[in-house]
Amino acid sequence: MTERTDDFAHRQTQANLAAVEREYSPLHNDLDAELRAVLQPLNDARGTMLKRQVTLQTIAEEHRAGRIANDQVPKLRAAVIDDMDKAQAVADKAVRARLKALPGELAARAFATPPRGAETSEAKADLRMRMDNSEDVFAAMTEAANDAARRGDALALRLLASDWGRDYAASRSDPEYGAAVVADVRRIATASADLFPTEARSDLATLERIGDLEKAHAMGINLVDMTRAAAVDGRA
């Protein structure tokens, strides 16, 4: 590859990196603090890449000055690049683990079972009376949820969308079907989020941004990979 071709490839890498960063930064900054925290390992990995870039440049400068022997350069560079690769792998693994766990955590908080008490016991009894005689548990629960949303019955809606609703549906069918029924009930509940407590509404709003978080994750991984490539190139 000629020097002119090298320069063109370098400029193209830099242009691509800048383009992705321009798209990534606004999306990242628009996420709430809990979602941004999921991406922090990627930001840390980029920081590692930039530090190792300086190390690679120092190796090159010391080699040109004759203070590092020719046969030592590949070994030194390989050790630095291996460190970058490990940092990227660890960051990606950490983010993927949080991406997998976070929707369930948010849902558990947003759709927490209402506290026990006389009012809650009465609401459960009313719901059972309404739904027990229906052969179709899916229809019974979604109709009850829609009715609760229309009437502004926050307690009934929260119960149906909670683990109590999941367990009720599972008792009428099986755990897998029960979870599927409650997933539909929770979509109904999310559309009436104003009936939920303030903290639950915040969790629901965060849950609605999971798609944006996944997009930011894909862009962040690409950004880390491109930063690594620029660092290895040695002229970034």
pLDDT per residue as tens digits for the range 69-97: 999 999 999 999 999 999 999 999 999 99
pLDDT band at 234 (very low <50, low <70, confident <90, very high): low
Q: What is the mean pLDDT of residues 222-235?
A: 85
Q: What is the mean pLDDT of residues 59-67?
A: 95
Residue that the structure tokens 């978080």 belong to = 213
Cα distance between residue 175 and residue 171, in whole Å = 8
**Residue from 203, 210, 213 nearest 29 by CA:** 213
Cα distance between residue 118 and residue 99, in whole Å = 38
pLDDT in tens, 138-197: 999 999 999 999 999 999 999 999 999 999 999 998 889 999 999 999 999 999 999 999
∠ CA(146), CA(152), CA(155), 5° rounding?
90
Q: Is 66 left (phi over 0), alpha (psi -120 to 50) or beta?
A: left
Q: What is the pLDDT of residue 235?
A: 53
| CA–CA distances in Å: residue 80 to residues 46, 49, 74, 152 | 14, 10, 10, 60
Q: What is the pLDDT of residue 1?
A: 47
**Residue from 43, 48, 49, 70 nearest 59 by CA:** 70
How many CB atoms are located within 10 Å of the residue 78 CB?
10
Residue that the structure tokens 């490839």 belong to = 9
pTM of the model: 0.83
Q: What is the mean pLDDT of residues 131-144?
A: 95
| 213 and 32 Cβ atoms separated by less than 8 Å | no
